[in-house]
Amino acid sequence: MGKIEWAMWANEQALASGLILLTGGIVGVAGQFRGWQFAAYAVAAGVFVCLLEYPRSKRAKGTSVERTGQYCFTVCVKAFGPLTRNYYVRAFLHAAICVPGGFMLATVLGCVCLGIASLIYLAAAIRGEHWEPILPRKETRKPVAQSIKNPPQNPPPRPPPEMRRKQAGDLEKSAYDNPMSVTDDE
Amino acid sequence: MANCIVNYGFSAFILFVWMAINIFLFVYFYFFYDLGPQFFYTRHLLGSALPWARAPAAVLNFNCMLILLPVCRNLLSLLRGSFVRCSRTMRKQLDKNLTFHKLVAYMIALMTAVHTIAHLFNLERYNNSRQGLDDELSTALSDLADTENTTYLNPVRITNLDPQQIPTYFAFTTIAGLTGVVITLALILIITSSMEVIRRSYFEVFWYTHHLFIIFFAGLVFHGAGRIVRSQQRTNPPHNTTFCKDHPDDWGQIPECPIPQFAGGFPQTWMYVIGPMVIYLCERLVRFIRYMQRVQYKKIVMRPSKVLELQLIKNGFKMEVGQYVFVNCPAISQLEWHPFTMTSAPEEDFFSVHIRSAGDWTDKLIEIMKKVPEGAEGPKLGVDGPFGTASEDVFDYEVSMLIGAGIGVTPFASILKSIWYKFKDSDPKLRTRKIYFYWLCRETHAFEWFADLLQVLEKEMEERGMGDFLTYKLYLTGWDQSHATHVMVHFDKDTDVVTGLKQKTHYGRPIWDKEFEQVRKENPTSIVGTFLCGPEALGKVLEKKCAKYSDVDPRKTRFYFNKENF
């Protein structure tokens, strides 16, 4: 499967896992299930994973499509530097986060899904991928040429007016062809 | 509003019927389990979580039955053929198959979520009852086990494990639990790999992961085999729940209250899905048979701008204009079939496809074809099809507007060639009196193979004095300063500098309002079919314009929008 950037799929999977973990956690806490403490952890972990995974990475090749309103998240995630840039760290982080979810049925699905996301991230890391923030492109204006700043003060030299006036006597010398048609009947 | 009805009426009706069936199933089964007397004791243990789990299950049965059908393209092609005598609107519905497939998939995902959450509550409550934490009746009910004269109600039988782990243990050791977890996982993987970003960029991941549906359906069929949703059975003498619920200690000892018996419901999912599964199996079988049929090469041509033209011959292959085929090349990948619109006309003795470099598979194909020496046969190919699309309808409309963006012009290449042949043979089947053709393209290179065709048509039409049959406008959307300068310098030439055609190239995007106005003005009483092969965004714009410029009055101009989709 040639040019695939595994991180893109890992990202979708991890975001979905975050949501599933969060939902399972909410169910566990709201229903006051046995082991609800694990569910409460799952709520926090789910929110954390969602926040981490929401900003999409910039693709190495091709156009990157942002998620709506991801700019603020991009800035936050970027602030952690190598911790969030490196996918090995993410893989191990997700693997670690998902473990407590396995202790209660409501969160087990989130745990397994996050585990799978972690494996895909590991594959991405092995292939050398890393997370790049998508930042708005700064408009680079063309550098203004120096000559524009010093307009000429004087008109260009012209021959004296007598010479510029058309010499009606000498038709050959004063006639010229217009490069473009100046009549409107063409 | 009236325009909406003209253009969207039938789709809205189908969606309404589908949604109505979903709602009916949900409500019916909710009350079946919420009010049915045979579930009295079950409800005592579970509360309303029982109907909340069973209602989405019914909706899931219905939708899992439907989901396979829109992707059986051979079946759809068959249906389209048999609808030839029916109205235009019926056949257009079959184009929206992928949209419907996705809609059903969303419903499945939503219902799975509700079903799973309800069952989480069910398991928790069953567990608590089994642990003896609820009232006396619950404990008595949960104690009933499968012996010679009792049957169980509470499927959670185990008590000697850490109570927090019992639900998880149950989920992984019962048929229902295990299949449930596995198929939900399969569903999640299918969904994440089907997201637009992944699908458009890495088709292989999407396609291979989607085959997890096999696991999904296998698990689904066995999901109910454990029969753990229990209802009360009739006993002799009958067990009167209203009286006996208050005397659980006396069960089996007084005549009014024999020990209540329970049994699980007969699994029904297989009845819903077996039909579509068989149909889909036939579909894949047909594709396999087609793959085995021999495809010969007539010509391989490398076009500029990384476009490959393949002219192929296959025994018994009959096509219509604008149809597409699926091509498979075992040398690149055994499992992948990719769709391409045919660019040849039915009147020719071969069929051709123009393939553009747009990903792994197409790149490899172009590489392989480049290395094939002149006149030799290329690698073995499998071809499945042809499959019908909206373009088949183009000759039924008196007036047609054809819009192709970039490589999306390919179905129209087929149509224009067919027109040329029909003209030469003076075919009376041609109902079309006028065609407006719009080609939008970013760069000039891609024009070349198509420009030749247009030049020939231009000449042909002038010779026969049919200059106004075909009006075409070419739009170069990727122009820059150098283009503009070039055009300015050569503005007074008779033919266009870019294409060599008499019709001048326009720059930038078309102003659709003007175009639609012009078409409406020139054809005040006709039905105009609008056909697009191009990006979604353009499709939305055109759909709106069609709705805007259509008149509800059937005697005036009406625009029908048809979109090609892959």
Q: What is the pLDDT of residues B421-440, one digit of tens each?
A: 776 777 666 677 788 888 88
Which residues of chain A fall below pLDDT 50?
Answer: 1-2, 186
Query: How much is the average pLDDT of B511-516?
Result: 88
A151 domain residue, yes or no: no
Q: Would you call B106 exposed, middle or buried from its count of C-beta atoms within 10 A (0-12, 13-18, 19+)?
A: exposed
The minimum CA-CA distance between B494 and chain A, rounded to whole Å, is 14
Range scoring the smallest mean pLDDT among B31-45, B102-116, B374-388, B433-447: B433-447
Nearest to A105 among B168, B185, B191 (CB): B168
Predicted local distance difference test score (pLDDT) of residue A3: 64
A93 domain residue, yes or no: yes
Query: How much is the average pLDDT of B500-506?
Result: 66
* Tokens matching residue B464: 């026969």
Predicted local distance difference test score (pLDDT) of residue B282: 93
Q: Looking at the predicted structure, is the pLDDT value of residue B339 above 80? A: yes
Query: How much is the average pLDDT of B273-296?
Result: 89
A145 domain residue, yes or no: no
Residues of A in contact with B195 (CB under 8 A): 12
Q: Looking at the predicted structure, is the pLDDT value of residue B566 above 50? A: no
Predicted local distance difference test score (pLDDT) of residue B455: 77
Contacts within 8 Å (CB) and 24+ apart, B79-88 = B80/B388, B81/B388, B88/B393, B88/B396, B88/B560
| pLDDT tens per residue across span B107-124 | 999 999 999 999 999 999
Task: Please state, in angstroms and rounded to a whole number, the distance separating the CA atoms of residues B132 and B202.
Answer: 53
Strands B527-533 and B558-563: parallel
Helix (H) or strand (E) holding B173: helix B166-173
Query: How much is the average pLDDT of B347-365?
Result: 86
Query: How much is the average pLDDT of B356-367?
Result: 85
| pLDDT tens per residue across span B42-89 | 999 999 999 999 999 999 999 999 999 988 887 777 776 655 444 444
Predicted local distance difference test score (pLDDT) of residue B189: 94
Q: Does A13 touch chain B (CB under 8 A)?
A: yes
A156 domain residue, yes or no: no
What residue type is assigned to position B3 of the chain? N
Domain ranges of chain B: 21-287, 293-387, 433-442+500-532+546-565
Percent over 70 (pLDDT), chain B: 87
Predicted local distance difference test score (pLDDT) of residue A5: 86
| pLDDT tens per residue across span B162-214 | 888 889 999 999 999 999 999 999 999 999 999 888 887 777 788 889 999 99
Alpha-helical segments (H) within B408-535: 410-424, 448-463, 481-489, 512-522
Predicted local distance difference test score (pLDDT) of residue B557: 80
Nearest to B184 among A2, A65, A109 (CB): A109
Q: Does B189 touch chain A (CB under 8 A)?
A: yes
Predicted local distance difference test score (pLDDT) of residue B325: 87
φ/ψ of residue B335, rounded to 5: -95, -15
Number of domains into which chain A is organized = 1
Q: Looking at the predicted structure, is the pLDDT value of residue B311 above 60? A: yes
Q: Does B158 touch chain A (CB under 8 A)?
A: no
Predicted local distance difference test score (pLDDT) of residue A19: 95
The answer to whether B363 and B356 are in contact (CB under 8 A) is no
Residue B90 confidence class, pLDDT cut points 50, 70, 90? very low
Predicted local distance difference test score (pLDDT) of residue B394: 74
Put simply, the answer to whether B188 touches A16 (Cβ < 8 Å) is yes
For helices B49-67 and B269-292, give the axis angle rounded to 10 degrees: 20
Q: Looking at the predicted structure, is the pLDDT value of residue B1 above 70? A: no
Predicted local distance difference test score (pLDDT) of residue B35: 93
Task: Please state, in angstroms and rounded to a whole number, the distance separating the CA atoms of residues B46 and B154.
Answer: 10
Minimal Cα distance from B127: which residue of A? Answer: A34
The minimum CA-CA distance between B540 and chain A, rounded to whole Å, is 20
Predicted local distance difference test score (pLDDT) of residue B503: 63
Q: Looking at the predicted structure, is the pLDDT value of residue B142 above 50? A: yes
Predicted local distance difference test score (pLDDT) of residue A1: 42
A176 domain residue, yes or no: no
Predicted local distance difference test score (pLDDT) of residue A49: 95
Residue of A34, A53, A63, A70 for testing the chain B interface, max B β-carbons within 10 Å:
A34
Predicted local distance difference test score (pLDDT) of residue B542: 87
A122 or B4, which is more confident? A122
The answer to whether B412 and B404 are in contact (CB under 8 A) is yes
Contacts (Cβ under 8 Å, ≥6 apart) of B405: B439, B440, B441, B532, B533, B534, B535, B538
Q: Does B320 touch chain A (CB under 8 A)?
A: no
Query: Which numeric CATH code is attached to B293-387?
Result: 2.40.30.10
Residue numbers of the domain that contains A103 = 4-56+67-125
Residue of B120, B133, B178, B203 for testing the chain A interface, max A β-carbons within 10 Å:
B120
Task: Please state, in angstroms and rounded to a whole number, the distance separating the CA atoms of residues A88 and A94.
Answer: 10
Q: Looking at the predicted structure, is the pLDDT value of residue B304 above 80? A: no
A149 domain residue, yes or no: no
B210 or B323, which is more confident? B210
Predicted local distance difference test score (pLDDT) of residue B2: 46
B79 or B262, which is more confident? B262
